[in-house]
Amino acid sequence: MKGTLRRRAGSIALIIGFFAFWQFACAAFGIKDIVLPEPSQIIVTLFDRLPAIWPHAVQTLYATLIGFGLGIFFGVLIGVLIGSSRLAYDTAYPLLVGFSTIPKVAVVPIFVLWFGAGTVPAVLTAMILCIFPIVVNVATGLATTEPELEDVMRALKASRLDILLNVGLPRAMPYFFASLKVAITQAFVGTVIAETVASNRGIGNLIMIASSNFDVPLVFAGLLILAVLGVALYVIFSFIEARVTGWTRRTDEFALG
Amino acid sequence: MMHAPLAATASMDEPALEPFVQLQDVTHTYGRLSRTVTALDKTNLKIEQGNFVALVGPSGCGKSTILKLITGLISASSGAVLVAGREIGAEPVRVGMAFQNPTMLPWLNLRDNVMLPLKIVPPFRQEYRRKRKREYRDRVEALLAQVGLAGFSDKFPWQLSGGMLQRASLCRALIHEPQLLMLDEPFGALDQFTREELWGVMQNLWLSRKPTVVLVTHDLKEAAYLANRICVMQARPGRIIDDNEVPFPRPRTVAMTYEPGFVSLTQRLRELIVAASPSQEVAP
């Protein structure tokens, strides 16, 4: 308990220290607003113009969560298909790696071409960015199930579906949740990329417009919003992960329910 | 728990029946083309219902292969494996299996681990949702208590010792009242004292439920303590070379394993196995 407290205090001190140093450096070296605004100024901008920023933040969050949801759905589906058979795993993996290596910015114009500018390309970009880590992790979790565990089930004449539901998926859960933490941040990246390229709403669009107006404090306010949203979602999924897959860490908290 | 006449072996208990498990000229090879290994060669074996048979022999003699064949985990290259008079898979015979590794699912507590077969195996699975909170739960608790694990059902596997996990593994193998119990060196990874204790546990479980048991083991004392009948196998190719009843009365005790009759039996088995082992191979 004491260890956790110390670690938390350490992280908080580091975060505060980082912003304090930033503030101090801007003042000490006389860095101009247009290059790097002071944190205090960013926060003031954020609060002053919150009514204008807020709809954009909501739009970005909305597109991200829908993309993320679709990513989970298709990611788990594809991951289960690939992971539950050795043949599928070996066959599909090269194609999957191929898709994953394409820089996702490059596909945004295609989505715009197909669906027009707006929310749809943002959702789709978020989805394809977050789908890969989910597929790979779920497939790996399933494919690495210990044969002994499967033998236990097969001796009971369990069907493949029984084995998947009772052994495969629970075993893949830690992998799945680990991937969600990566996937949610990737989904944000996807949304913002699409918004900067082709949208008239969202934080990505806000940042593009602000930077073309040399409104640098607003650019940073947008970044701050993104960081806060990203961290918040990361924390939520870490919490769910700890509740669901505590058995991997063998914590007594999990054992106590 | 006084079902069985104490001084009788199973062969005297019951009238001569159609054998429950039957291997007819079973050959099984692993590998392909020129790199095949014959694990089992034209083997015949009959096991009566309710009997307790141990398979012993040098490593690589196909003991585990026989278990897997009877369970249906693998199918024979040639010959027939009959359980309850039918080809394997034709009739759903309830099988329980325990391995050297307890293979508990780490995300379930002991109760849910032991209850797993009830969730999978008919006819229990049809009523699983309705009965798991009361009837099945009580059943699991009772069985856990019988092997000395009362009060541990809320624990997770990592919180228990190897011996306790192996007890739980036996419970999981028996909870769905299998007609056939397959034990693949279940006590192999335990220390001497835990092992001897679990022999007693296993004997009591068998005496109270009388499933047909096939035990694969390296431990001759274990085979002689637990089984009604011991089959000695040779390796490469795997064959049964000796098949004998174990005459000692039940319930057997660890003290009995030091009596002259018992010692001479294990000694005779030992000599058979040494003679059957592939000669000390010298690398060419």
Taking the Cβ of residue B72 and every Cβ of chain A, the question of whether any pair is shorter than 8 Å is answered with yes
From the number of C-beta atoms within 10 Å of its C-beta (0-12, 13-18, 19+), residue A200 rates as exposed
* Domain boundaries of chain A, sorted by first residue: 1-31, 37-255
Instruction: Specify the range with the lowest mean pLDDT, choosing from A10-14, A190-194, B10-14.
Output: B10-14
pLDDT reported for residue B4: 42
Find the helix or strand (DSSP H, E) in which B95 lies.
strand B95-98
Q: Count CA atoms within 13 Å of residue B159 on its CB side.
A: 18
pLDDT reported for residue B71: 85
Taking the Cβ of residue B126 and every Cβ of chain A, the question of whether any pair is shorter than 8 Å is answered with no
Alpha helices per DSSP H over B50-151: 63-71, 110-120, 128-131, 135-146
What does the DSSP assignment read for A134-174?
Answer: HHHHHHHHHHT--HHHHHHHHHTT--HHHHIIIIIHHHHHH
Strands B229-234 and B52-56: parallel
Name the closest residue on chain A to residue B155, using Cα atoms.
A255
Q: Which of B20, B48, B6 is nearest to B204 (CA)?
A: B6
pLDDT more than 90, % of chain A? 43
pLDDT reported for residue B282: 42
* Nearest chain B Cα distance for residue A143, angstroms: 16
pLDDT-derived band at A123 (thresholds 50, 70, 90) equals very high
Count of all residues that appear for chain A in the document? 257
pLDDT reported for residue B126: 81
pLDDT reported for residue A121: 92
Taking the Cβ of residue B132 and every Cβ of chain A, the question of whether any pair is shorter than 8 Å is answered with no
* Nearest chain B Cα distance for residue A221, angstroms: 43
Sheet holding B78-83, edge to edge: B37-47, B21-30, B78-83, B86-87
Show the CA angle centred on residue A132, arms to residues A130 and A137, nearest 5°.
110
Instruction: Report the distance separating Cα B134 and Cα B137, nearest Å.
Output: 5
Identity of the amino acid at A13 = A
pLDDT reported for residue B11: 44
Instruction: Specify the range with the lowest mean pLDDT, choosing from A45-54, A245-254, B250-259.
Output: A245-254
What contacts B218, CB < 8 A, 6 or more positions away? B56, B59, B185, B188
Backbone angles phi, psi at B57, to 5 degrees: 160, 170
pLDDT-derived band at A54 (thresholds 50, 70, 90) equals very high
CB-based contact B56:B230 (threshold 8 Å)? yes
Alpha helices per DSSP H over chain B: 10-13, 63-71, 110-120, 128-131, 135-146, 162-174, 192-209, 220-226, 260-276
Contact call for A254 and B156, based on CB within 8 A = yes
pLDDT-derived band at A251 (thresholds 50, 70, 90) equals low
Class of A37-255 in CATH:
mainly alpha
Name the closest residue on chain B to residue A159, using Cα atoms.
B120
What is the rounded average pLDDT of the residues A141-168? Answer: 85
Structure tokens of A11?
């992280």
Structure tokens of B11?
């062969």
Considering only CB atoms, B92 lies closest to which of A146, A153, A157, namely: A157
Show the CA angle centred on residue A191, arms to residues A189 and A196, nearest 5°.
95
Low-confidence ranges of chain B (pLDDT < 50): 1-15, 281-284
Structure tokens of B281?
């191979």
**What pLDDT, in 10s, does the model give residues B191-206?**
888 889 889 988 988 9
Taking the Cβ of residue B207 and every Cβ of chain A, the question of whether any pair is shorter than 8 Å is answered with no
CB-based contact B198:B166 (threshold 8 Å)? yes
Tell which wins on pLDDT, A110 or A96.
A110
Name the closest residue on chain B to residue A171, using Cα atoms.
B107
Backbone angles phi, psi at B134, to 5 degrees: -115, -75
Paired residues of B230 in beta bridges: B54, B244
CB-based contact B184:B64 (threshold 8 Å)? yes
pLDDT reported for residue A44: 92
Helix (H, G, I), strand (E, B) or coil at B226: helix
Evaluate if residue A99 carries a pLDDT over 90.
no
pLDDT-derived band at A252 (thresholds 50, 70, 90) equals low
Taking the Cβ of residue B57 and every Cβ of chain A, the question of whether any pair is shorter than 8 Å is answered with no
pLDDT more than 70, % of chain A? 96
**What pLDDT, in 10s, does the model give residues A226-247?**
999 989 988 998 888 888 877 7
Instruction: Report the distance separating Cα B249 and Cα B242, nearest Å.
Output: 21
What contacts A158, CB < 8 A, 6 or more positions away? A166, B120
pLDDT-derived band at A89 (thresholds 50, 70, 90) equals confident
Contact call for B156 and A250, based on CB within 8 A = yes
Q: Which residues of B touch A245 (CB under 8 A)?
A: 107
Sheet holding B212-216, edge to edge: B95-98, B180-184, B212-216, B52-56, B229-234, B239-245
What contacts B1, CB < 8 A, 6 or more positions away? B204, B207, B208
Paired residues of B202 in beta bridges: none
Instruction: Report the distance separating Cα A193 and Cα A208, nearest Å.
Output: 11
* CA quadruple B262, B265, B266, B269: dihedral, nearest 10: -170
Taking the Cβ of residue B95 and every Cβ of chain A, the question of whether any pair is shorter than 8 Å is answered with yes
Structure-token match 């003042």, residue found = A27
